[in-house]
Amino acid sequence: MIKNMLDAKAVGNYAVAVRLSEIWYFIPMAITGSLFPAIINAKKISEKLYHERLQKLYNLLVWLAIGIAVPMTFSSNWIVRFIFGDQFTQAGNVLRIHIWAGIFVFYGVVTGKWIIVENMQKIGLYTTLIGVSLNVILNLIMINAMGIIGAALASLGARLLSVYIAAIIFAPMRTTINYFHRSLLYPYYIIKTKKGNK
């Protein structure tokens, strides 16, 4: 879409940013792949233990994604220049936005496993279709308005909106939204617990 609506230079800048943003996506797959068997075993023992372990995995991955996004946001221009040179000047600005989509990718990896365990593969397919459709629609609007910055915002917006729209349409998905919200508030719960123990 970028090539058709803009030019090859824009495609190059966007591709550089996406490559640097998506290089981290192996992390949730590796962690989830190694920890999820224990979570499945916990479900056999008790639902409470299953939900506790699942929440811990969401906490870990969401905050890993945030921990990656924050420094990448502030150093994006330097990273692009260091690795690819000065010819990709726009890629840093795209990376600064696109890196935050990783939060929803990390969240989505756990949710994908949860969907399989809960035998909700059809809902998983529908949520994927929602995300793809939103991405196309937002790209059509935002690339015209803002170029490759618009494409990055469209990608981030589509991931964010698909999570919440899926939860509105499919009631079981609201469980994963609750996990996600609690993950975002995890530092607050830690501080609250420490104050309560004093």
Q: What is the span of the domain harbouring residue 39?
A: 2-197
Q: Which residues contact 113 (CB under 8 A, 6 or more apart)?
A: 32, 36, 39
pTM, 2 dp? 0.90
pLDDT in tens, the chain (198 residues): 788 888 888 899 999 999 999 999 999 999 999 999 999 999 899 999 999 999 999 999 999 999 999 999 999 999 999 999 888 989 999 999 999 999 999 999 999 999 999 999 999 899 999 999 999 999 999 999 999 999 999 999 999 999 899 889 999 899 999 999 999 998 877 776 666 665
3-state secondary structure of 1: coil
Whole-Å CA distances, 196 to 52, 55, 56: 20, 21, 20
Residue 35 burial (CB count, 10 A): 18
**∠ CA 40-66-136, rounded to 5°:** 85
Q: Which residues contact 71 (CB under 8 A, 6 or more apart)?
A: none
3-state secondary structure of 107: helix
Number of domains in the chain: 1
Query: What pLDDT is recorded for position 135?
Result: 92
Query: What pLDDT is recorded for position 86?
Result: 87
DSSP label at 198?
-
Query: What pLDDT is recorded for position 196?
Result: 65
Are 99 and 73 spatial neighbours (Cβ–Cβ below 8 Å)? yes
Q: Give the largest CA-CA distance in the chain.
A: 61
